[in-house]
Amino acid sequence: MRHPLARCLSALAAAVLLLPVSACGLGEEAGLVIYSGRNEGLIKPLIEDLEDAVGTKVEVRYGGSAELAAQLLEEGDKTEAGLFLSQDAGALGALSKEGRLDKLPQTALDKVAPQYRSSASDWVGLSGRVRVLGYNPGKVSDVPDSVFELVKPEWKGQVGYAPTNASFQAFVTGMRVLKGEDATRQWLQGLKANDAKPYDNNVNLLNAVDSGEVSIGLLNHYYWYEKVDEVGADKVTAKLHFLPGGDPGALVNVAGAGMLKGTDQKAAALKAVDFLLSEKAQKYFADETKEYPLASGVTSTVPDLPPLDSLKVPEIDLGRLESLEETLKMLREAGMV
């Protein structure tokens, strides 16, 4: 019987089989095969340095994190992958739950704070991103301190969100874990009834906040910092509000890495994890996407980015973000996707 996650994403997972791989494709020449849910444009510049660190040829298959997780569940012990790079903790949690990831050495795990790695010791976070409220200061004088306030009448028609975005769906999953099914369902229904405006991606959502099309947007922090880096702070009207008090809207999700159980590429995979936690790779992630580096001793140099340990984020086992199927069902029931 096929696993439920694989059934849920069967069409997308099948499409992954057609995705291109780097160099000559998957084959016996590779000393390490990586399935990467991180964007090719982001990861590819690191591959040459990663190959040097690993000391062998590295080949990469790219796709969405959830789709690749479903594919790895389909492939089971027959997978050619030795390492999985995921855009979010949920996909890693799905593989961990099904026993498809091997434990990582404590030396690697100890480089990252416990809340940003697997409680089962089989995956580790590489970079972090924080959910925030983007707001237009010309339209908002008193920014809400909780996403639960956004369903109140005074915010009718003023809130934007990106319901098909994986980070929004991970945030909703986090709310389900933190606040329960009923509270999350009621919040989604309230957001919909309050005429919140859907956008197809976070870039368009941030632009809508910036222009005043909506007053507030549910975003990841780095979209604002990337826009400021691209056009200059004086050209960006929107501001960010980092939510206090452990609100679900302040979720920190991570991109991370897990080694596939039973792989004959273990030595290479472990060297790759060590490289991805190195100062060089961590600074690359921080500089390229404005995410938070997670390895101890590495700090972000992004101007005006609050230190990660200064934020009041919710306490959550990120591995529990794996229940995407239930979140998608809830979003469909609310008429959001």
Answer yes or no: do 97 and 10 share one domain.
yes
Kindly state whether residue 14 falls inside one of the protein's structural domains.
Answer: yes
Answer yes or no: do 199 and 297 share one domain.
no
Task: Give the whole-angstrom CA distance, residue 117 versus residue 256.
Answer: 8
Task: Give the whole-angstrom CA distance, residue 109 versus residue 96.
Answer: 15
Answer yes or no: do 279 and 220 share one domain.
no
Residue 219: strand pairing partners: 132
pLDDT at 22: 40
Answer yes or no: do 191 and 262 share one domain.
no
Task: Give the whole-angstrom CA distance, residue 16 versus residue 68.
Answer: 7
Tally of CA atoms within 13 A in the half-sphere of 331 that contains its CB: 22
pLDDT at 214: 98
Answer yes or no: do 142 and 221 share one domain.
yes
Kindly state whether residue 319 falls inside one of the protein's structural domains.
Answer: no
Kindly state whether residue 231 falls inside one of the protein's structural domains.
Answer: yes
Answer yes or no: do 160 and 237 share one domain.
yes
Answer yes or no: do 165 and 209 share one domain.
yes
Instruction: Show the CA angle centred on residue 57, arms to residues 65 and 50, nearest 5°.
Output: 65
DSSP 295: B
pLDDT at 59: 96
CATH classification at residue 175: 3.40.190.10
Kindly state whether residue 318 falls inside one of the protein's structural domains.
Answer: no
Kindly state whether residue 321 falls inside one of the protein's structural domains.
Answer: no
User: 264 and 78 in contact (C-beta within 8 Å)?
Assistant: no
pLDDT at 224: 98
Answer yes or no: do 102 and 194 share one domain.
no
Model-level pTM?
0.88
How many CB atoms are located within 10 Å of the residue 257 CB? 24
Q: Name the pairing type of β-strands 216-220 and 159-161.
A: parallel
Kindly state whether residue 60 falls inside one of the protein's structural domains.
Answer: yes
Task: Give the whole-angstrom CA distance, residue 203 versus residue 210.
Answer: 11
pLDDT at 324: 85
pLDDT at 29: 64
Answer yes or no: do 218 and 177 share one domain.
yes
Kindly state whether residue 312 falls inside one of the protein's structural domains.
Answer: no
User: 124 and 199 in contact (C-beta within 8 Å)?
Assistant: no
Answer yes or no: do 115 and 140 share one domain.
no
Answer yes or no: do 200 and 258 share one domain.
no
Q: Name the pairing type of β-strands 197-198 and 58-62.
A: unpaired
Answer yes or no: do 141 and 116 share one domain.
no
Of 148, 129, 145, 151, the residue nearest 244 (C-alpha): 145
Instruction: Determine the 3-state secondary structure of 82 from DSSP.
Output: coil
Kindly list the distances between the CA atom of residue 173 and the CA atoms of 139, 170, 230, in Å, as whole numbers in the listed order.
30, 5, 31
Q: How far is CA 274 from the centre of its chain?
A: 20
Q: Domain span at residue 62?
A: 4-128+254-306
DSSP 117: B
Task: Give the whole-angstrom CA distance, residue 35 versus residue 67.
Answer: 11
Kindly state whether residue 322 falls inside one of the protein's structural domains.
Answer: no
What's the total number of domains in the chain? Answer: 2
Binned average pLDDT, 10 residues per bin, the chain of 337 residues: 42 40 48 95 91 96 94 96 96 96 98 97 97 98 97 98 94 97 98 98 97 98 96 97 96 97 96 98 93 95 94 94 92 96
pLDDT at 275: 98
DSSP 224: H
